[in-house]
Amino acid sequence: MKKFQIKVGQNILTKNANWKFNNISAKNFDNHIKKSVPLYDWSHELGLKVSDFFLTENIKTNYYDLGCSTGTFINKLSSRNSNKKINYYGIDEIKDMCKISKKNNQSNKSVIILNKKIQNLKMLKSSFVTSFFTIQFTHPSYRQMIFKKVYKSLNWGGGFLVFEKVRAQDARFQDIITQLYNEYKLDQKFTPNQIISKTMSLKGVLEPFSSNANVEMFKRAGFKDVITIFKFLCFEGFLAIK
């Protein structure tokens, strides 16, 4: 089937089963994700508050943001901890996103933006790692490896904060959650055609796991302490401590 262009809102064009983050301006990306993901700004605020437990003043350490996109969160975090000896690594496999992220953090020499696939990343010892709605876009065959990589990187007592879209535990709940989320998007002024177009573009690209499947990945990686610290419809935030 020919892959025709479809509109998903905020002047973003994509194709059937071919959602990509290339050629999206910073303004359009940030606006789109804030409208698409409920409480997106609050997930960042929560990430900042959680970081206080793992990024302490007297320890020279490293921090990673896996899927840093426009570098908005890493900018907020580095500003919050400007008096601490921390190297901030933003990782993204999309060159366009890395360019935007570098521009947004160009005044901070402690921020390093790397254009790499997460599964190919060699991580230094770290105290805190975040991932905001990113691992859901990596192929399922890489996810357990990524969780193990993060666990190995973390210092003892370090934290891994992960926000993901998740599937419900059975078909009935999945149907309810999907309909509620679609109504949320309508409330955000997405048109029905844009909602359907976005769903079409994400086929085979976005592969959410259930809450239980995510927790099991944490445990198989070695994490014993895992808790849900955020939940709204099909979006969940997990905090795991080594």
Q: Which residues contact 213 (CB under 8 A, 6 or more apart)?
A: none
Averaged over 233-241, what is the pLDDT? 97
- What pTM does this model have? 0.87
Residue-by-residue DSSP string for 161-227: EEEEEEE-SSHHHHHHHHHHHHHHHHHTT--HHHHHHHHHHTTTT--PEEHHHHHHHHHHHT--EEE
Residue 79 pLDDT grade (very low, low, confident, very high; cuts 50, 70, 90): very high
Q: Which residues contact 25 (CB under 8 A, 6 or more apart)?
A: none
Q: Are 150 and 160 in contact (CB under 8 A)?
A: yes
Residue type at position 46:
L
The secondary structure element, H or E, covering residue 229 is: strand 225-232
d(CA 165, CA 153): 24
For residue 47, the tally of other CB atoms under 10 A from its CB is 22
DSSP 94: -
Residue type at position 18:
N
Query: What pLDDT shows up at residue 20?
Result: 54
For 198-235, what is each residue's pLDDT tens digit? Answer: 778 777 778 999 999 999 999 999 999 999 999 999 99
Q: Which residues contact 171 (CB under 8 A, 6 or more apart)?
A: none
Collapsing DSSP to helix, strand or coil, 8 comes out as coil
Q: Is 198 left (phi over 0), alpha (psi -120 to 50) or beta?
A: alpha
DSSP 44: H
Q: Which of 48-57, 86-95, 198-207 has the lowest mean pLDDT?
A: 198-207
Share of the chain above pLDDT 70, in %: 89
- Tokens 């969780």 correspond to 147
In the chain, the domains with their CATH numbers are 41-195+225-241 (3.40.50.150)
**Which tokens go with 9?**
């809102």
For 151-190, what is each residue's pLDDT tens digit? Answer: 999 999 999 999 999 999 999 999 999 999 999 999 988 8
Residue 113 has pLDDT above 90, yes or no: yes
d(CA 47, CA 141): 27
Q: Are 159 and 55 in contact (CB under 8 A)?
A: no
Question: How much helix, strand and coil, in percent to the nearest 5, is found in the chain?
Answer: 40, 25, 35
d(CA 24, CA 39): 22
- Tokens 């509109």 correspond to 7
